[in-house]
């Protein structure tokens, strides 16, 4: 169940990436060929080692972060931070409603549990906290930028606000139309996310033989392609994401974390009980 849901997360990412690609710059290219090439590349990456994934992630993510700060600084001339006020204009209820959507991404940090056996040493608590803070930072940055540049009403209507932020960059009179950098950001992020999720989906089964792992990844790749090519228009899909997919992701991992926590607590209690009984017998 965990493996299939992780593949479902990869499929939603791939579908949004293909939809954005079709809207942005490859409108007449068949979606089948786009997702086929993308899934094949992700299968190749997921069939490698965690070390390879980490190295590629560091390389791509570093450039993504540099470009993210570049677009934020370059658009300072268009930003009006007074649009962020009044803070809490409608009270805390909208904040609580939006928290569910933000946490549906943050709660995915639980996937570290499925990589623990591949990580040398013990994953320290401060490492998890740092990753959580980075996720918060990467979430708030584009949201604040979109509101400051386009206003709260216009930003709420935009499906891809980050792309809109790139499209208005102009450095002087002669440098503009730099939105092709957003293609790199989106494709790189989607590639790493889908590859890592597919890698984790196979690691859940602890498969040792390489051929079986590749077969499983290929099967999951077909499932992702079927989901991406599912004939549903974008508006209906985003409505499903808002009402079902995103809340379901939060509750799935939240409940899973509670279940795993109870298992660990029960196991530790049994171990302590065994040690006490052994000491009494001695």
CA distance linking residue 46 with residue 179, whole number of Å = 29
229 DSSP 8-state letter:
T
CA distance linking residue 218 with residue 47, whole number of Å = 10
Q: What is the domain range of residue 75?
A: 2-281
pTM of this prediction exceeds 0.75? yes
Number of domains present in the structure of the chain: 1
171, 74 Cβ separation under 8 angstroms: yes
pLDDT digits (tens, 9 = 90+) for 116-169: 777 777 778 888 888 888 888 888 888 888 889 888 888 888 877 877 888 888
pLDDT digits (tens, 9 = 90+) for 21-49: 888 888 888 999 999 999 999 999 999 88
Listed as own residue / partner, the contacts of 249-258 with beta carbons closer than 8 Å and 24 or more positions apart are: 249/9, 249/104, 249/107, 249/108, 250/100, 250/103, 250/104, 250/107, 252/5, 253/107, 253/108, 253/110, 254/107, 256/2, 256/110, 257/107, 257/110
């Amino acid at each position: 169940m965990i493996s299939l849901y992780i593949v479902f997360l990869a499929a939603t990412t791939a579908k949004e990436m293909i939809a954005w690609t079709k809207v942005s710059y490859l409108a007449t290219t068949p979606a089948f060929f786009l997702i086929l090439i993308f899934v094949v590349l992700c299968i190749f990456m997921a069939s490698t080692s965690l070390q390879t994934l980490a190295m590629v992630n560091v390389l791509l993510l570093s450039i993504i972060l540099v470009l993210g700060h570049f677009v934020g600084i370059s658009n300072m001339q268009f930003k009006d931070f007074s649009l962020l006020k009044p803070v809490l204009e409608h009270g805390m209820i909208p904040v609580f409603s939006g928290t569910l959507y933000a946490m549906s991404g943050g709660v995915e940090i639980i996937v570290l549990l499925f990589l623990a056996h591949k990580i040398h040493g013990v994953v320290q608590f401060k490492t998890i906290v740092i990753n959580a803070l980075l996720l918060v930072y990467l979430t708030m940055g584009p949201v604040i930028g979109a509101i400051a540049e386009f206003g709260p009403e216009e930003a709420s209507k935009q499906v891809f606000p980050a792309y809109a932020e790139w499209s208005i960059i102009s450095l002087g009179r002669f440098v503009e139309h730099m939105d092709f950098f957003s293609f790199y950001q989106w494709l790189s992020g989607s590639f790493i996310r889908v590859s890592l999720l597919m890698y984790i989906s196979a690691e859940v089964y602890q498969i040792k033989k390489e051929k079986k792992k590749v077969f499983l990844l290929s099967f999951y790749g077909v499932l992702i392609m079927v989901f991406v090519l599912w004939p549903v228009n974008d508006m209906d899909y985003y409505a499903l994401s808002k009402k079902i997919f995103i809340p379901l992701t939060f509750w799935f991992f939240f409940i899973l974390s509670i279940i795993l926590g109870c298992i660990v607590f029960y196991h530790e209690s049994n171990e302590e009980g065994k040690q006490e009984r052994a000491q009494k017998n001695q």
